[in-house]
Amino acid sequence: MPYHRGLIICLGVPIVFLLLLGGLIFGGQAISAVKLDGEIQRALSTTLPNAGSAGDIELKNLQRVNNGYGYCGLYKTASSENGYASFFYNKINGRVTLDIASDRYESNCGLSSFC
């Protein structure tokens, strides 16, 4: 019996530690993704004139650009009849660009920036 206790301590404790560490890492990433969606939804709700609340905005196809300093994607408001529209979100200053012909959108979300 004493040999089994050592085996449990030598193998069980590191495995439990690694599982907890993995849970913390992946759980933290999931929480930060939810926070980012909320930030973008709040920025869009303040920018759009008839958006209502941040919960009324649906995000889709988020892509990280500029080494994580910006995000491109699609949004749709609950009252929208036209479907999804494109946007660029600057994570540094919290600014949303909705004009797809602007230099800011073209330089970050245009096709040439992904090639």
pTM for the whole structure: 0.66
Q: What's the total number of domains in the chain?
A: 1
Which pLDDT belongs to residue 115?
Answer: 45
The least confident of 54-58, 85-89, 110-114 is 110-114
What digits encode the pLDDT tens for the residues 62-104? Answer: 888 888 788 888 888 877 777 888 889 988 888 888 888 888 8
- pLDDT class for 33, splitting at 50, 70, 90? low
Q: Which residues of 51-77 are buried (b: 16+ CB within 10 A; e: fewer)?
A: beebebbebeebeebeeeebbbbebeb
